[in-house]
Amino acid sequence: MQTVAVVDYGMGNLHSVAKALEQVGGGSARVRVSAEPAVIGNADRVVVPGQGAARDCMQALQKRRLIGAVKDALATRPFLGICMGLQLLLETSDENGGVDLLGFYAGRVRGFSDSLSAGHNLKIPHMGWNNVRQERVHPLFADIDDGARFYFVHSYFVVPEEAGLGVASAEYGMRFCCALASENVFACQFHPEKSAADGLRLLRNFLSWDGAC
């Protein structure tokens, strides 16, 4: 039986993600919510969810000595980042006056308040269902229609320097990148665990994914 570690750094809806993974796994995966680097290091797959401010998330990862375990997972195994688990992968965030992130990908995290086109009068955070446009084929989108609706809750979005990293986008006053993918890493701004059948399908795809794009 494969093992899936959901990284517990004290931020976000960890247990709802774990329950969704258990549901789609159908007994084929052992899902563990853990803050132990050894448990994360021994898992076959790693999921980093999270909600909250960028500075708080980075401080929580540092305090629990989890940065090394997360970076190792990013380099070696199927990895799924959700919400802050996406944003943390870039170099810096404009949130909290500027925060250094994990730096796995070149780029920054920007706020909608600085970027929305004039005249849209859209509320921040961007919260609710939105259509996700698949920019390229990826195994985690298997059996999910292009334009399927997923659930979002966020005020910031990723701007990777390498445009080819973007695997999906959405529209909220402007088009923004809502998922990145390269090699064994897939990370999305939306919440698959809150996104009904299509979200569960994405999680099921993750559990059967060999880590290749």
Measured between alpha carbons, how far is 49 from 15 in angstroms, rounded to an integer? 10
- Which residue, chain included where needed, has tokens 């969704």? 20
Q: Provide the β-strand partners of residue 109.
A: 93, 158
The answer to whether 170 and 135 are in contact (CB under 8 A) is no
Q: Catalytic: 154?
A: no
Q: Provide the β-strand partners of residue 128.
A: 152
Per-residue burial over 191-201, b if 16 or more Cβ lie within 10 Å, else e, is: bbbbbeebbbb
**Identified catalytic residue from 177, 178, 188, 193:** 193
**Identified catalytic residue from 57, 83, 178, 188:** 83
**Identified catalytic residue from 15, 161, 191, 213:** 191
Q: Catalytic: 193?
A: yes
CA distances from 137 to 5, 144, 145, 146 (A): 26, 11, 11, 10
Q: Catalytic: 191?
A: yes
Q: Which sequence positions are flagged as catalytic?
A: 83, 191, 193
